[in-house]
């Protein structure tokens, strides 16, 4: 704290109380302490017995950094002016008496405004203080008026008011920024993706094949597909660990797919071992596949087409479910004939109108399902919707229905006759 030049220089010289007297402040901007008052005001005025005790102190005006306070006691009304700066306050009074430091009005006002430990009366009127802010934004603050004080507090509301509300924010320290953070991933313009590769005219069984695509600006979509297998290039680092595993499973699938016929029509007992291997690979791949953000289906014409990128217009975005459908059949009595067809349920819900474009897999609304077993896969492919005339039912029952009934549930539905 600076020593009071006013006091030392004016010990023997009096000046008018209407001339500003400077009180220097401690380190905190705008905070006037009891000790600063005690050290800088002349002892005479501090010990004065003069009968002036302001019962009312009113803030008459605040303009910029100047406050005008009105003081009233029983007999007198005075106005004191406070010029505020971060490191000093200047007081003057309109009583215009000759003083060493300040007049009795300023001295007693300070005693009233800074009772016991309170030091921040003037701080609230600093440019960043709650008083100055509250005057500009009255909707956000409550004003509390007593005879000697005006104070402000933030209104109760959902949001906290920075600096003025008791908030969690006040606990934020540099240590919180030292807590472990996520490591930012490098922003890439391309991403690995996987394709369920199918074929025209059931020439090949389905397999998984990796690919990659250039991302759109918002990184949501693919603007261009790169050649097949491009995502698997280890030096690009596009793939996560389980995507590498999915790639290995897919390449193993492809080796088997090249050897096997593409339909259960042509699959015979000699294919059984490789067929089982392929289906097992699909089952192993399913959990990883179901977690892929970017999965597409693509119908490949010739094998040689694998050497160029897939055509964008033939890439269909899809996802694959972890659920395995339960196969049953429906035999519907329609009067002159029966309708017979397979039905699939997932968690008790019928996949009504499912599409079956390739062996092993059915789809509904771009969600793919891997059938539950090789036998289910064979039956879903081979037992398509049938009309069975009643004349032929005995033969159908013996050849087809009985063996199916031995393994699967068959629901008999009788159509109600139409009302005339
Ligand atoms: Zn005065």
- Ligand 1 centroid, distance to 71 Cα (angstroms): 10
Write down the pTM of the prediction: 0.62
- Ligand 1 centroid, distance to 127 Cα (angstroms): 26
Determine the Cα–Cα distance for residues 256 and 279; give it in Å rounded to an integer. 10
- Ligand 1 centroid, distance to 35 Cα (angstroms): 22
Q: What is the pLDDT of residue 188?
A: 80
- Ligand 1 centroid, distance to 17 Cα (angstroms): 6
Cα angle 298, 299, 301; round to 5: 135
- Ligand 1 centroid, distance to 102 Cα (angstroms): 8
Q: Are strands 410-414 and 386-389 parallel, antiparallel or unpaired?
A: unpaired
> In this predicted model, what pLDDT tens digit does every residue of 208-227 receive, in sequence order?
999 999 999 888 889 999 99
3-state SS, residue 349: strand
Determine the Cα–Cα distance for residues 269 and 261; give it in Å rounded to an integer. 12
> In this predicted model, what pLDDT tens digit does every residue of 149-188 receive, in sequence order?
788 999 988 888 888 888 888 889 999 999 999 887 777 8
- Ligand 1 centroid, distance to 79 Cα (angstroms): 8
CA atoms within 13 A on the CB side of 83: 11
The alpha carbon of 343 is separated from its chain's Cα centroid by a whole number of angstroms, namely: 41
* Contact in structure between 45 and 37 (CB atoms under 8 Å): no
- Ligand 1 centroid, distance to 97 Cα (angstroms): 7
> In this predicted model, what pLDDT tens digit does every residue of 273-325 receive, in sequence order?
999 999 999 999 999 999 999 999 999 988 888 888 999 999 999 999 999 99
Phi, psi of 307 (to 5 degrees): -80, -10
Between helix 272-290 and helix 374-382 the angle, nearest 10°, is 100
- Ligand 1 centroid, distance to 394 Cα (angstroms): 122
């Amino acid at each position: 704290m600076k020593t009071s030049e006013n006091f030392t220089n004016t010990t023997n010289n009096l000046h008018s109380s209407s001339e500003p007297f400077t009180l220097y402040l401690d380190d905190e901007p705008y905070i006037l302490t009891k000790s600063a008052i005690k050290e800088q005001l002349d002892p005479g005025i501090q010990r004065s017995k003069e009968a002036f005790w302001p019962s009312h102190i009113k803030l008459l005006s605040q303009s910029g950094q100047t406050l005008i306070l009105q003081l009233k006691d029983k007999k007198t009304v005075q106005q004191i002016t406070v010029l505020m700066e971060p490191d000093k306050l200047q007081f003057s009074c309109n009583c215009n008496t000759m003083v060493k430091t300040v007049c009795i009005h300023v001295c007693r006002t300070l005693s009233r405004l800074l009772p016991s430990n309170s030091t921040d009366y003037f701080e609230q009127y600093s440019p960043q203080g709650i008083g100055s802010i509250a005057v500009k934004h009255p909707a956000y603050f409550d004003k509390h008026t007593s005879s000697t004080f005006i104070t402000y507090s933030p209104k109760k509301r959902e949001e906290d008011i920075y600096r003025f509300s008791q908030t969690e924010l006040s606990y934020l320290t540099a240590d919180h920024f030292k807590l472990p953070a996520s490591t930012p991933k490098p922003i890439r313009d391309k991403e690995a993706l996987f394709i369920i590769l199918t074929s025209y005219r059931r020439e090949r069984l389905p397999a998984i094949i990796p690919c990659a695509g250039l991302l759109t600006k918002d990184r949501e979509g693919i603007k261009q597909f790169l050649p097949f297998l491009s995502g698997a290039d280890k030096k690009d680092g596009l793939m996560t660990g389980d995507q590498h595993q999915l790639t290995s499973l897919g390449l193993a699938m492809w080796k088997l797919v090249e050897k096997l016929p593409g339909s259960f029509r042509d699959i015979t007992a000699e294919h059984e071992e490789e067929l089982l291997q392929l289906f097992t690979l699909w089952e192993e791949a399913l959990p990883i596949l179901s977690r892929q953000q970017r999965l597409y289906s693509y119908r490949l014409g010739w094998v040689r087409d694998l050497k160029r990128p897939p055509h964008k217009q033939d890439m269909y975005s899809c996802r694959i479910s972890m659920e395995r459908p339960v196969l049953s059949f429906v035999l519907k009595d329609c009067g002159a004939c029966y309708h017979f067809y397979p039905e699939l349920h997932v968690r008790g819900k019928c996949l009504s109108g499912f599409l079956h474009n390739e062996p092993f897999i059915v789809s509904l609304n771009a969600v793919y399902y891997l059938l539950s077993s090789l036998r289910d896969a064979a039956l879903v492919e081979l037992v398509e919707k049938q009309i069975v005339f009643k004349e032929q039912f005995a033969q159908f029952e013996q050849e087809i229905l009985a063996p199916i009934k031995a393994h699967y549930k068959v629901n008999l539905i009788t159509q109600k006759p139409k009302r005339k």
